[in-house]
Structure 1
């Protein structure tokens, strides 16, 4: 599940994931609708932007981690900021990895492989 309020960023991440061999890629423009979708139809990976209206990436991560059913879902946070405070808060909430935008497809692949192992 790709969660980002920018349509172009969602499309770019989808293409990258398809190029890496992912088949079932869903996306949502915001965390509120993503949470509902993930609860009704589980996913193995969430790639979420940090800076979004209504609920930021940290609040979204906290909501995912606080849910008994989806709490262990792999969560990678994207942000345009390398702010150490955000990184530390995300780590404290249990983020699996962190990618600073803009990023190359190889960087996203490397972050995913750190969690899942080598992609074939």
Structure 2
């Protein structure tokens, strides 16, 4: 049972409102070390500069989309075990299948509740204490 406070999270989304909602949900669960990125390129830069153990990334973003970010992260050996949850506005089976194929640990469909966010994270890490 990992402690939520031990999780270092990076939220990658081009919409400030969505980043705020995810951040609020993570804080409510007890995750305190939270960083944000405005697109996939920014997210990758931040991962390289200061790695995290959980990435929650939107799929549809400018510059580098969520799948591109996922592929870039998974191509680097030091990030093979980093938790990655794809955030999407559409429950598109093809997108979910591609995300899993590229190494996503889970996906989250917008809009979501804090309970759903917690469940998706616990599916990756086990029950949070």
TM range (shorter): over 0.9
Q: 2:116 aligns with which of 107, 110, 113?
A: 107
1:27-83 per-position Cα deviation (integer Å, ceiling 9, x unaligned): 011111111111111101000000101111111100110112223211000000111
Q: 2:96 aligns with which of 87, 91, 108?
A: 87
Under a length normalisation based on structure 1, what TM-score does the superposition of the two structures give?
A: 0.96
* C-alpha distance in structure 2 between counterparts of 1:20 and 1:73, whole Å: 19
Q: Kindly indicate whether the alpha-carbon contact (under 8 Å) linking 2:41 and 2:64 is maintained by their aligned counterparts in 1.
A: yes
1:52-63 pair list within 5 angstroms: 52-63=61-72
* C-alpha distance in structure 1 between counterparts of 2:92 and 2:46, whole Å: 29
Q: For residue 74 of structure 2, what is the aligned residue in structure 1?
A: 65
Q: 1:75 aligns with which of 80, 84, 88?
A: 84
Under a length normalisation based on structure 2, what TM-score does the superposition of the two structures give?
A: 0.90
- State the secondary structure of the residue aligned to 2:34: coil
- State the secondary structure of the residue aligned to 2:56: strand
Q: For residue 6 of structure 1, what is the aligned residue in structure 2?
A: 15
Q: Kindly indicate whether the alpha-carbon contact (under 8 Å) linking 1:80 and 1:102 is maintained by their aligned counterparts in 2.
A: yes
Q: 2:105 aligns with which of 90, 93, 96?
A: 96
The answer to which structure, 1 or 2, has the higher relative contact order (CA under 8 A, 6+ apart) is 2
Q: Kindly indicate whether the alpha-carbon contact (under 8 Å) linking 1:39 and 1:70 is maintained by their aligned counterparts in 2.
A: no
Q: Which runs of 5+ in 2 are unaligned?
A: 1-9
Q: Does 1:36 align with 2:45?
A: yes
Q: CA RMSD in A?
A: 0.8
* C-alpha distance in structure 1 between counterparts of 2:56 and 2:68, whole Å: 14
Q: Kindly indicate whether the alpha-carbon contact (under 8 Å) linking 1:49 and 1:57 is maintained by their aligned counterparts in 2.
A: yes
Q: Kindly indicate whether the alpha-carbon contact (under 8 Å) linking 2:13 and 2:39 is maintained by their aligned counterparts in 1.
A: yes
